[in-house]
Amino acid sequence: MVVHRLRVDNTVPMALFERSTPDGDVSLYYEEYGEGFPVLLIAPGGMRSEVSFWSGTPWDPIEQLAGDYRVIAMDQRNAGRSTGPIKASHGWQTFTDDQLALLDHLGANRFHVVGMCIGGPYIAGLIETAPDRVASGVMFQPIGRHENRDAFYEMFDSWARELGPVRSDVTDEQWSSFRENMYGGDAFMFNVDRAFISACEVPLMVLRGNDLYHPEPTSLEIADLAPDCTFVADWKDPADQPAARAAVESFLAEHT
């Protein structure tokens, strides 16, 4: 394990966490802000999920939360500045293992997790794998399976085509198997099913999605199924943002 500390200025601590796995070496880029109870941020962007995408969201949770929490924002494997092997057996659990390894390295035993888009299933995966470690989960417009599988296949293929020129080590069969493991199943959140959400004891907050990749029915089902869920219908428009931001802050504070 090797940690390279980087800085682009005096205010943004950036680092690469490197670890060895049975499939090869993984390098995870992350940034840390603030102090206090840890909050893991999982950015939108699908397979391209990286820290920089937060700047294009209705509001940036890094800026919102860094005054009260230890905010840990990361690029997922093979997105942004993070790299790692790609194997036919890889899928949702591969990313969960990366996330938990980073938190272990940083000494964050218990944490909140806030995620947008693909962050929804990643949150569910963390809860499924380490339920005692997740204090709460905030899902901004979570992705889900609702007459849209082809859109996710195309999103994956677009990402794979971008990586293709520098990933000659990955065969067509490996790409295909990896894609199927991510988006080919029947779970309504792609990696967990309704029964899991119905039995989830970790407090959740869902901010409603309303488009092809973030179908409203998925947000509504999570809110309906989860035993302890706070639902926010309107949060994107400038007029709705102050109340929605306050709701997120109150939810996290309640469960810290």
Q: Tens digits of per-residue pLDDT, 11-53?
A: 566 799 999 999 999 999 999 999 999 999 999 999 999 999 9
Task: Answer yes or no: is pLDDT of 10 > 50.
Answer: no
Give the pLDDT score at 145. 95
**Number of domains comprising the chain:** 1
Task: Answer yes or no: is pLDDT of 157 > 70.
Answer: yes
Instruction: Provide the pLDDT confidence category of residue 74 given band limits of 50, 70 and 90.
Output: very high
> What backbone phi and psi angles, to 5 degrees, belong to 238?
-50, -35
Instruction: Provide the pLDDT confidence category of residue 131 given band limits of 50, 70 and 90.
Output: very high
Q: Using the 8-state DSSP alphabet, how is residue 112 labeled?
A: E
What average pLDDT does this structure show over 176-198? 97
The pLDDT tens digits for 198-235 are 999 999 999 999 999 999 999 999 999 999 999 999 99
Nearest to 50 by CA among 24, 31, 70: 31
Give the pLDDT score at 11. 55
What average pLDDT does this structure show over 126-144? 98
Q: Which residue type does 17 have? A: F
Token pair of 59 as six digits: 């509001």
Give the pLDDT score at 12. 61
Percent of the chain with pLDDT over 90: 95
pTM for the predicted model, two decimal places: 0.94
What average pLDDT does the chain have?
A: 95
Residue 103's domain comprises: 2-254
CATH number at residue 118: 3.40.50.1820
